[in-house]
Amino acid sequence: MFLLAHTGRPAAVRSAELVVQGLLRSGIGVRVLAEEAADLPLPPSVERVELEQCAAEGCELIVVLGGDGTLLRGADFARTSGVPMLGVNLGRVGFLAEAERDDLDKVVDRVVTRAYEVEERMTLDILVRNNGNIVHTDWALNEASVEKAARERMLEVVTEVDGRPVSRFGGDGVVCATPTGSTAYAFSAGGPVVWPEVEALLMVPISAHALFAKPLVTSPHSVLAVEVQPKTPHGVLWCDGRRTVELPAGARVEVRRGAVPVRLARLHHASFTDRLVAKFALPVAGWRGAPH
């Protein structure tokens, strides 16, 4: 089992210690990153590996302890290795997480008994072109966002779906997201919440100055594109808020369904509706349910 934790948080360090102890008592081997091992109270039997994308290969499960940023970091290892990721939320919302801090004993028990299910989540493959040449490739689980680099200047873009132009506008940028990412940055930008089992791509303008700048939901087979206009200030591409590359004026960002999904381990059969209500503390008092 590969363990990834936000070692900058005391709660994560303590949680990691409890998980490791529980797994080792049950005879399950544990692997951690060498750079994190120095901050964790670990016995010598825990395997230390270097920080490489293949660090989780050969493991049965990736357990991630932390907030959304740590979970997205774990998704890098999950995508590369094909190993399912089980998230324990130590942050605030934690939509990718399957358990909370108080569930650590249950998490260990489920891992030991293999009492979990695995589901696949769509990803995005991203290409950046400049003067017709591919200058950068990337991927994302939640979203790829094209944003302005200068606070005082709008970014002028033209959006495109399946090779046809949709709209030109100035604003703060555009978010291209998966259904998983619909509750992340795209949600903050005013996009719709899309249930994870729905296969679709989202395009959500950010603070656009235009009459038509509505969120779009397209086929999962569509190709979305955002072109930074030649006479506008340069922009920046963010992938899951973690990886970034500068976009010169005239750059083109193409987003399509990723060839490789991320596998998530699930402990609960609760519906996404219940998760949505719980995570956002939505008011549901007065609900009577469907008539019987």
Residues annotated as catalytic are: 68
Q: Does 145 show up as a binding residue in the annotation?
A: no
Rg (CA), the chain: 21
Q: Does 188 show up as a binding residue in the annotation?
A: yes
Q: Distance of alpha carbon 238 from its chain centroid, rounded?
A: 12
Q: Does 69 show up as a binding residue in the annotation?
A: yes
Q: Does 116 show up as a binding residue in the annotation?
A: no
Q: Does 191 show up as a binding residue in the annotation?
A: no
Q: Does 187 show up as a binding residue in the annotation?
A: yes
Q: Distance of alpha carbon 9 from its chain centroid, rounded?
A: 20
* Cβ neighbours around 106 below 10 Å, total: 14
Q: Does 73 show up as a binding residue in the annotation?
A: yes
Q: Does 143 show up as a binding residue in the annotation?
A: yes
Q: How far apart are CA 221 and CA 53, in angstroms?
A: 28
Contacts of 10 (CB under 8 A, 6+ apart): none
Task: Locate the DSSP E strands across 141-259.
Answer: 143-148, 155-161, 164-171, 173-177, 201-206, 216-218, 224-228, 235-239, 243-247, 252-257
Q: Does 153 show up as a binding residue in the annotation?
A: yes
Binding residues, as ranges, are 68-69, 73, 142-143, 153, 172, 183-188
Binding residues for NAD(+), as ranges, are 68-69, 73, 142-143, 153, 172, 183-188
